Structure 1
Amino acid sequence: MMMRLAVTLAIAAGPVWAQGNGLEEGRDLFLYFCAECHGKDAASQGPMAEMMALQPPDLTHLAARNNGAFPIEAVAKQIDGRQPVAAHGDMPMFGPSLDEDQFVTLALPSGQPMMVSRSLGSLITYLQSVQNPPEGTD
């Protein structure tokens, strides 16, 4: 039954949302919700970072720290609060702020679709766009 529901939802969602969509919206959301801690450039040097017990992570190396693959599902779960951020439990959970009636389907590295709110999809798309290559590659 659960599998049938998942397949139905994936079909109802339509084609996978082009992850190039929403880049500007994602940047605006990042600057509004995230830049105070993670910095305007997502490299963890925001004005609040120096006051925090633990430095916020550099979000420009998420893919590099995950063997070159951007961890879409983990990022979505941390932003919307489904997966607590153990390194700094004081990270605000933005899931309620990003809830809306419009949903998009993102493609996970496995090719499997993942439905998220349009705002969360835009924020993830922006974070993907700021990834730096792993050290030692050009």
Structure 2
Amino acid sequence: MRGGWLAVLMALAGAAAAQETGRDIYARYCVACHGTDGTGDGPMRRVLTLDPPDLTQLAARNGGVFPRQRVIWRIDGRDPVLAHGNEMPVYGDLFAGRDLVIRDETGQTLRSTQPMADLVAWLEGLQRR
């Protein structure tokens, strides 16, 4: 039984670390457009072709389910954002590669990177229910 609790505690610690890392990635790469609280009111908003979406409402706009696949594909360029071309412009190689398997909201596997997984975990925790 002690081993089971240890595994749970380690999993929780890993999730907390991913949340912190995801928050750091968001602060560095996303705040300028999406704002500090994710509602789309960043300082670059007024110069963009389209208003950045409210990232706190992604699940609400998707029937209460966080759209993990769509979020990953938007960020890494597989689902282009019309406002600025194929991929988010400021990431460089941060999200390049497909070395990690992530499960989407339906249980299907997606190939991505650890920074992407961390950012998406943080965004998922940002949702207003």
Q: TM tier, shorter chain?
A: 0.7 to 0.9
- Name stretches of at least 5 consecutive residues in structure 1 with no aligned partner: 1-16, 134-138
Q: Identify the residue that residue 102 of structure 2 maps to in structure 1.
A: 106
CA distance in 1, matches of 2:108, 2:92: 22
Q: 4+ residue runs of structure 1 moved beyond 4 angstroms? A: none
Q: Which deviates the most, 92-101 or 66-75?
A: 92-101
Does the 8 Å contact 2:95/2:112 carry over to 1? Answer: no
Does the 8 Å contact 2:102/2:112 carry over to 1? Answer: yes
Work out the number of aligned pairs and report it. Answer: 115
Does the 8 Å contact 1:62/1:131 carry over to 2? Answer: yes
- Name stretches of at least 5 consecutive residues in structure 2 with no aligned partner: 1-10
CA distance in 2, matches of 1:75, 1:99: 15
Relative to structure 1, the CA distance from residue 100 to residue 24 in structure 2 (aligned partners, 3 Å threshold; closer, same or farther) is farther
Q: Does residue 96 of structure 1 match 2:93?
A: yes
- Alignment TM-score, normalising by the size of structure 1: 0.72
Q: Identify the residue that residue 32 of structure 1 maps to in structure 2.
A: 28
Q: Does residue 125 of structure 1 match 2:121?
A: yes
**CA offsets per residue over residues 12-68 of structure 1, 9 Å max, x none?**
xxxxx9893511111000010000010011110111112323211111101111111
- Alignment TM-score, normalising by the size of structure 2: 0.77
Which structure is higher in RCO with an 8 Å CA cutoff and minimum separation 6? 1
SS in 1 for 2:78: coil
**CA offsets per residue over residues 91-119 of structure 1, 9 Å max, x none?**
42636222368x43322222223231000
Does the 8 Å contact 1:26/1:124 carry over to 2? Answer: yes
SS in 1 for 2:41: coil
Does the 8 Å contact 2:22/2:120 carry over to 1? Answer: yes
SS in 1 for 2:93: helix
Q: Percent identity?
A: 36
- Kindly provide the amino acid, as one letter, of the partner of residue 35 in structure 2: G
